[in-house]
């Protein structure tokens, strides 16, 4: 079975998470009663968790695992399966429980992948023992197609490697050699347009009324500015993902100042936020964004890493107004503030920032491809020093952006970012010769 490594990693992670959930399912909401049963249950769960952590050690922190690294990880997984199947520490009843594979991705639920189908094709879900055997056979037959080494790739390969701009709070364009923020109004399904238009008119009206009430209250000015910003985006038909995130930020701020406001005003704020939540939920882009954000595996270190990368990018853009319109660092700064969200919301915000920077890199690379010949060794317009410097400057921003979020982007499902950074680095060195 030939699969891309990203798919293999997702499949293995999905199996281990589903295995843990299938073991845990009978004890949801209660611990095993007897001491011996409780100890056995804990040891079983630790075996699964250790296998997951060891697999992550070889793969999660490697943008492009070598064949040796992958083979070591695969052998350890096979050893785990064989040990688990034959372990005297595990309650025999565990093997007879139904194995339920549950993916967080909607596409796997609507159109199951070949891997998921291994466990759901039969009328009855397999028992856990059978699921382990199926998974072992999958690992034994697996022949992962790892990404080719950077030495075999050239700048023109980026056209294939780098995706078009994706669903994110911000999209970019290049106009007259400068990065600009590209307008992207919400796109509604034809059948929903009339209802969405009516809902938006109602929300805008209630937002204006809310702002007037806040202006005459003694509320914190930061809350008022948060509502004004959200209302301005709704009035301007702004990017739907940006509206959704701004609404989340507004909701967080409302909760912080709830005790300082009268009940009537709190009610208006809550209704306003709820209405916007329902509004953005009507758009496919917001649904895609929230599902992907929920499925990624980012931790606090990743959030901090993305925050530092965003800060460096903003500083560089501000220092190079000839390469970026002032609205670009301003908009990225606006998205960056969401990283301070509490709990899991910060991970969704980190995904938003990663996608925003990915779009910036994509826009620069695709624009720059037009200026390079098929040999990717020199600029087409080699006689234009100004154009050359502009392209090299833009590529420098793309390189810094991609390098800054590289590891986190891999964990967010975008390994192409690291590949692109390596290729761009080599292209800059060639063009500077």
Q: Are residues 305 and 421 in the same domain?
A: yes
Decide which of 282, 317, 334 is a domain's last residue: 282
Q: Answer with the residue of higher pLDDT: 59 or 311.
A: 311
Least confident of 49-63, 147-161, 225-239, 293-307: 147-161
pLDDT above 70 for 190: yes
In a domain, 291, yes or no: no
Domain count, the chain: 3
Q: Are residues 62 and 124 in the same domain?
A: yes
Q: Are residues 133 and 205 in the same domain?
A: no
Distance, in Å, from the CA atom of 15 to the CA atom of 103, rounded to the nearest integer, reads 9
In a domain, 289, yes or no: no
pLDDT above 80 for 86: yes
Q: Are residues 175 and 302 in the same domain?
A: yes
Quickly tell me which residue has 């050690």 as its tokens: 57
- CA 45 to mean position of chain CA atoms: 28
Q: Are residues 399 and 356 in the same domain?
A: yes
Residue 256's pLDDT is 86
Contact 332, 172 (CB under 8 A): no
Q: Are residues 238 and 263 in the same domain?
A: yes
**Averaged pLDDT, 131-140:** 90
Q: Are residues 7 and 89 in the same domain?
A: yes
Residues in the chain: 433
Q: Are residues 171 and 201 in the same domain?
A: no
Residue 33's pLDDT is 57
Q: Are residues 323 and 386 in the same domain?
A: yes
Closest C-alpha to 241, from 167, 344, 333, 332: 167
Q: Label residue 146 by pLDDT band (50, 70, 90).
A: low
Decide which of 282, 307, 340 is a domain's last residue: 282
Q: Answer with the residue of higher pLDDT: 315 or 192.
A: 315
In a domain, 427, yes or no: yes
Residue 205's pLDDT is 94
Q: Are residues 266 and 171 in the same domain?
A: no
Residue 149's pLDDT is 47
For the entire predicted model, the pTM comes to 0.63
Contact 279, 199 (CB under 8 A): yes
**Averaged pLDDT, 115-143:** 84
In a domain, 399, yes or no: yes
Question: pLDDT > 90: what percent of the chain?
Answer: 28
Least confident of 15-19, 47-51, 187-191: 187-191
Contact 361, 412 (CB under 8 A): no
State which residues form the domain around 107. Answer: 2-145
Q: Are residues 223 and 172 in the same domain?
A: no
In a domain, 239, yes or no: yes
Q: Are residues 163 and 263 in the same domain?
A: no
In a domain, 8, yes or no: yes
In a domain, 290, yes or no: no
In a domain, 305, yes or no: yes
């Amino acid at each position: 079975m030939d699969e891309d490594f990203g798919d293999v990693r997702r499949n293995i992670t999905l199996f281990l998470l589903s295995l843990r959930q299938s073991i845990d399912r009978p004890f949801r909401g209660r611990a095993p009663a007897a001491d011996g049963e409780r100890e056995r249950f804990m040891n079983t769960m630790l075996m699964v968790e250790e296998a997951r952590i060891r697999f992550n050690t070889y793969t999660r922190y490697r943008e492009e695992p070598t064949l040796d690294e992958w083979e070591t990880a695969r052998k350890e997984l096979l050893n785990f399966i064989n040990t688990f199947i034959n372990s005297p520490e595990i309650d025999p009843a565990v093997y007879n429980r139904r194995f339920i594979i549950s993916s967080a991705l909607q596409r796997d639920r609507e159109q199951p992948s070949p891997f998921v189908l291994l466990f759901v094709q039969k009328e009855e879900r397999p028992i856990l023992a059978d699921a382990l055997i199926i998974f072992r056979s999958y690992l034994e037959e697996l022949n992962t197609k790892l990404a080719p080494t950077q030495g075999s790739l050239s700048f023109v390969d980026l056209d294939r490697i780098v995706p078009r701009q994706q669903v994110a709070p911000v999209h970019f364009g290049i106009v007259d050699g400068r990065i600009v923020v590209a307008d992207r109004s919400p796109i509604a399904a034809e059948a929903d347009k009339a209802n969405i238009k009516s809902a938006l008119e109602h929300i805008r009206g209630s937002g204006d009324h809310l702002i007037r009430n806040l202006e005459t209250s003694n509320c914190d000015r930061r809350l008022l500015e948060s509502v004004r910003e959200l209302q301005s985006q709704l009035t301007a038909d702004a990017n739907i993902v940006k509206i959704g995130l701004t609404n989340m930020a507004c909701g967080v701020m409302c909760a912080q100042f709830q005790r300082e406001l009268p009940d009537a005003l709190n009610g208006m704020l809550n209704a306003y936020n709820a209405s916007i939540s329902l509004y953005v939920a009507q758009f496919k882009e917001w649904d895609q964004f929230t599902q992907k954000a929920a499925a990624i595996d980012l931790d606090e270190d990743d959030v901090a890493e993305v925050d530092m990368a965003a800060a460096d990018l903003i500083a560089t853009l501000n220092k190079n107004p000839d390469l970026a319109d002032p609205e670009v660092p301003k908009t990225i700064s606006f998205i960056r503030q969401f990283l301070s969200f509490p709990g899991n919301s910060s991970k969704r915000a980190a995904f938003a920032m990663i996608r925003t920077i990915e779009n910036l890199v994509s826009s620069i690379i695709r624009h720059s491809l037009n200026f390079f010949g098929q040999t990717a060794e020199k600029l087409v317009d080699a006689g234009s020093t100004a154009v050359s410097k502009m392209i090299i400057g833009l590529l420098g921003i793309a390189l810094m952006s991609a390098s800054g979020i590289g590891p986190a982007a891999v964990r967010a499902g975008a390994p192409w970012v690291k590949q692109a950074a390596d290729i761009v680095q080599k292209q800059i060195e060639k063009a500077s010769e």
